[in-house]
A and B are shown apart, each in its own frame.
Chain A
Amino acid sequence: MELLALLGVYAAVFFTLAIYTILYRENPWYRFAESVFLGLAVGYSVAMDMKYVRDQWAGQWSTSTIMMIGYALAILIGLLWYFRFTKQYFYLYRWPLAIIVGTGIGSALRTVVFAQFTTQIVAQAKLNLWVPNNTMTMFNNIMIFLMVPCVVLYFWFTGSYRESAPMKIIDKVARYTMMAGFGAGFGYTILTRYSMFIGRAQYLLGMTPNPAEAQPAFIVIALIMLATMIGYDLMQKKKTTAV
């Protein structure tokens, strides 16, 4: 393995373990890794955005005078973002903000009602409640047919009829439905978090296609970190005893 690639592997192992040291306690390794990560993430994003802006200029906006003016105008409006950091000219920052929010909402609103609202209602209405050859699907469909309207009604806060007997049953069904939904969400969240951990563990163990050099790096760096953290703890204890 090339020296540069090997350095990359050691850096990856170091930062993985440094981030995980937070599980033990807040410490300088963790703070260092956190700051480097944030700096790199922001730097990378800025670099990718700048590359896009540069490619747009070279690829099409530099081809005619009108395009050049449009490009310069866009850059100028973009620079107005930075007036967020001044109290005196803060109002200028509202212009790019208004443009971004306006175009974002405008482009989303053109289809949001169909994509996320009416299609869902139609799908609910079209549910097949009689599927004799597939009992599980039939059960699912009946449950969806009953539970979705209950949850919708649950959030209908106004009116005295909320205290009526049927609404109490509906409220109960809605609560159980939501609990089932949150349970599924929690289960999947656990899966995701563990999957992330498993992915990093596979890297630390050097499992193919990850570089095999990660395994010795894991042992060496883990031992160094453990020793320094125990040393750091002892030092802190001594300090507090001295005070």
Chain B
Amino acid sequence: MSFLEKFQNLDRRWVYLLAWIFVLMPLIFPLGLPVPINKESQQWYKAISDIPNGSVIVFSPMYGTSGMPELFPMTLATMHQLWSKNVKIIVVGFWAEGPLVFNQLLNQMDPKSYGKVYGVDWINLGYIPGGESAMRAFGDDMAKAVAKDYIEGKNLKEFPIMTTINSAKDVNLIISIETGTPGLTEWLRQWQEPYKTKIVVGCIGVSAPGMAPFLQSGQLSALLPGLTSSAEYELLINRKGLAIAGVDAVSMSHILVVALVILGNIGYFVSRGKKS
């Protein structure tokens, strides 16, 4: 058996071992590779910094713990930029694990350190089950869709922030950080189309190609896809976090994948040539 044939029948566990090495090594010994700032992260940064004072934002963590490695850094960075501004924030999730993710955020960021008061500047409404139907119900009448807030368990009208906010008509921007369904298309159908509410979406890399047409058509104001965009955004707001710490590992792992794809193709074509 030739070397190439042996190589083609390589036990896949060697590939997994290589993947571990290519990810762990740059994390333990950072390489400091340059991170160029791309258009997506600049658009996202601009969309957040251009929000006028006094605007009402719906911030929706639409992902669970499985999406945290990729989406949590951008969630932290976006909330940092939002809390540095004078805006009202309604946190609501249509994914069951959304509140869990936001609790993790609160463990790492204290809104009080930004001078934000719960119930006045921001409120957490927790999780609303029902997917797209729930999104519609929430847009039509927030107080009906959510009886009590998530943190203090009080009726919404007891909070000053909710006295002037009743429905999607009162919301200026949706920030949805998401991994799937319900997600962008449901926001488009239930909020953007009927109420013309602006939307920006942060998503996992897999979803990005499917969302790009909505960015091009202008239905989506900004799109922040994946961990590398999060790292660029962290650089833009000058707040380095886990995303920037992980980009070396992203680069190295991609080099490994590209090398394996090339080797696989060489093996395939050589063995095909021999057979013919």
| Binding stretch for chain A, among B42-50, B147-155, B163-171 | B147-155
Binary per-residue interface labels of chain A (46-63) against chain B in the complex, 1 for a CB within 8 Å, 0 otherwise: 001101100110111000
Contact call B129/A49, Cβ cutoff below 8 A: yes
Q: How far is the CB of A212 from chain B (nearest CB, A)?
A: 14
Q: How many residues of chain B have a CB within 8 Å of chain A?
A: 63
Contact call B132/A198, Cβ cutoff below 8 A: no
Asked whether B108 is an interface residue with its Cβ less than 8 Å from the other chain, the reply is yes
For A189, list chain B residues within 8 Å (CB). Answer: 205-206
Contact call B188/A116, Cβ cutoff below 8 A: yes
Contact call A48/B147, Cβ cutoff below 8 A: no
Asked whether B172 is an interface residue with its Cβ less than 8 Å from the other chain, the reply is no
Name the contact of B96 in the complex, choosing from A45, A103, A199 (C-beta under 8 A).
Answer: A45
Asked whether B176 is an interface residue with its Cβ less than 8 Å from the other chain, the reply is no
Asked whether B242 is an interface residue with its Cβ less than 8 Å from the other chain, the reply is yes
| Binding stretch for chain B, among A26-34, A104-112, A162-170 | A104-112
**A interface: dominant SS:** helix
Asked whether A197 is an interface residue with its Cβ less than 8 Å from the other chain, the reply is yes
Contact call B217/A123, Cβ cutoff below 8 A: yes
| Binding stretch for chain A, among B20-28, B82-90, B112-120 | B20-28
Residues of B within 8 A of A (CB): 13, 16, 19, 23-24, 27-28, 66, 68-70, 72, 96-97, 99-100, 108, 126-129, 131-133, 136, 144, 146-148, 153, 155, 185-186, 188-190, 192-194, 204-209, 213, 216-219, 225-228, 241-242, 245-246, 249-250, 253-254, 257
Q: How many residues of chain A have a CB within 8 Å of chain B?
A: 49
Residues of A within 8 A of B (CB): 23-24, 44-45, 48-49, 51-52, 55-56, 58-60, 103-104, 107-108, 110-112, 114-116, 119-120, 122-123, 144, 181, 184-185, 187-192, 194-202, 205, 207, 209
